[in-house]
Amino acid sequence: MPEYIALDFETANPQRVSACSVGGCVISNDQIVDRFSSFIKPPTDYFALSNVAIHHITPDMVADAPTFADLFPRFCSRVNHRTVISYTRFDLTVIESLFSYFGLSAPFKYVDVCALAREKLPQLPNHRLPTVAAALGLGSFNHHDASADAEMCARVFLALRKLPQNSAKTRRRPIANAFSDYIDSVLDDGVVDVKEVVELRCFLDVLPPCQPLDDLATQLDAALADGVITQDESNSIADSLSAVRAIAHNIFDSEPRQPTPRSIPPKSKPRFVTLKPSDVTHSAPADSIDPNNPLYGKTVVFTGELSGLSREKAWQTVVDLGGKAANGVTRSTDFLVIGYTGEYGVTSKQKMAERYIQQGRPISIIDESEFLRLTAAGEQ
C-alpha cells in the first residue's frame, strides 16, 4: 500500500524560499504513524509584517533554527519512497524554491489535497482547509501552525479517500469552476493574504492565456515584488478578482455552475478600508506649510517595508510638507524612498527609477533614514 507524507510550510515573507517553519505527518496503511515539525532559519532575516500576523513566527524564534539545507538529509529520509501531499500547491512551490536556492534535488510524486477536495466536495461554498475540515466533521485546529495544518491536511486526505468516487461528468469539473471556487474562498473574508496570492499565481501559470488573466498576473507579480502586500494592494487585488470571477465562464467557455448562497458576499460584509496616496489630504492648514522645505512640491514614491512608520503615515508626512505621495514611479517622480526589501534586493520600482535616471530624469533614490532626515528638516 502506498505511503504518503503531508507537508505544510510557513514563510517569513512573500518570497517562497523564505520558509521559516515546516510540519509533517506520515501516512501508512491509511493511518497517521508519525508527526514532526521544525522551525527553519530563512536565507534572510526579513519577516514581513503581513506574514507574521498570519503565523506569529518572529525572527528571534528561528535565530538558532537549522536552515533547509541542514534539514535536507532528514527531509529526504522522510520523503524517500512516499508521495508528498499538501493543501494547495503553495507548499510544493516552496519546496521547489528551496531546492533551487540551495542547489538540491530529490524526486518525489505529489498530490494536491485541495484539488481532491474540489473534486469530491463540489457543493461547498469554498475549499479552504478549515471549510473542508468542518464539512468532513474533523473539528477545528490551529490554522497556520505548520504542524497543525499538516496533520489536518493528512486527516482530510484520508477522509476524502473514503468518499465514493464521483461520476466522470462531475469529476471533470471545468477549470473555470475550480478557479472560481478559489476566488470565492479568497474573497470570503475580504482580505487577500500572501499564500492566496501565490496560489492564485499558480492557477494563472496553468490556465489558458487571455488579457484579463494576464493583467491579473501582472498585478499579482507587482504586489509580491516589494516583499510586502499592503492593504491597498489587498483591496485592489480583491476588486480585480471580483471582476475576473464575473466573467470566468465567458473566458473559459464552460458550463456555469449553480451559485451557492455564499457565492455572493453579503452586502453588509466589512471590507478593508485603506488609503491610497491620492486620498491623503493635509492634516494642517495649507498656509502653515513652509515652501522652502525639501519635500515641498515634490512627488515621493515608496518601495519595500518601512521600519519606523507605516506606509500611510509616510504618505501623510509627505502631504503635510506640501509634497505629493504616489504609488508608482513615473517621469514626474522626484524621490524614491527604499525601505527593507529582504532578498528581493532591487525592486521593480527601483529598476524603473534607475531607467528614468539613465534617461536624464532627476530622480533621487534615498533610504528611509535619509527620508526621515528630510522630513525632520522640513518640520523645523
Residue 170: per-residue pLDDT: 42
Per-residue pLDDT at 273 exceeds 50: no
Domains of the chain, each with CATH number or no CATH: 1-165 (3.30.420.10), 174-274 (no CATH), 277-379 (3.40.50.10190)
Distance (Å, whole) CA 38 – CA 146 = 9
With a CB cutoff of 8 Å and minimum separation 6, the contacts of 195 are: 54, 88, 90
Pairing mode of beta strands 19-28, 4-11: antiparallel
Nearest to 153 by CA among 58, 196, 74, 89: 89
Which pLDDT tens digit goes with each residue over 82-106? 999 999 888 998 999 899 889 998 8
Distance (Å, whole) CA 200 – CA 241 = 10
Angle between helices 211-225 and 231-252 (to 10 degrees): 160
CA angle 15, 240, 53 (to 5 degrees): 40
Per-residue pLDDT at 4 exceeds 90: yes
Average pLDDT, the chain: 80
Which pLDDT tens digit goes with each residue over 159-198? 999 988 664 444 434 455 667 777 877 887 667 877 788 7
Residue 208: per-residue pLDDT: 67
Per-residue pLDDT at 270 exceeds 60: no
Nearest to 220 by CA among 206, 210, 231, 234: 234
Per-residue pLDDT at 71 exceeds 80: yes
Residue 259: per-residue pLDDT: 37
Per-residue pLDDT at 23 exceeds 90: yes
Residue 189: per-residue pLDDT: 65
With a CB cutoff of 8 Å and minimum separation 6, the contacts of 21 are: 9, 10, 37, 38, 39, 40, 55, 57, 62, 146
At 264, the pLDDT band (50, 70, 90 cuts) reads: very low
Distance (Å, whole) CA 233 – CA 50 = 12
Pairing mode of beta strands 83-86, 4-11: parallel
Per-residue pLDDT at 258 exceeds 50: no
Nearest to 307 by CA among 337, 277, 327, 278: 337
Residue 27: per-residue pLDDT: 96
Say if residue 189 is exposed, middle or buried (CB neighbours under 10 Å; 0-12, 13-18, 19+).
middle
Q: Residue 305's beta-bridge partner residues?
A: 340
Least confident of 27-41, 240-254, 264-278, 307-321: 264-278
In this prediction the pTM is: 0.57
With a CB cutoff of 8 Å and minimum separation 6, the contacts of 56 are: none
Compute φ and ψ for 257, nearest 5 degrees.
-90, 165
Other Cβ atoms closer than 10 A to 276? 14
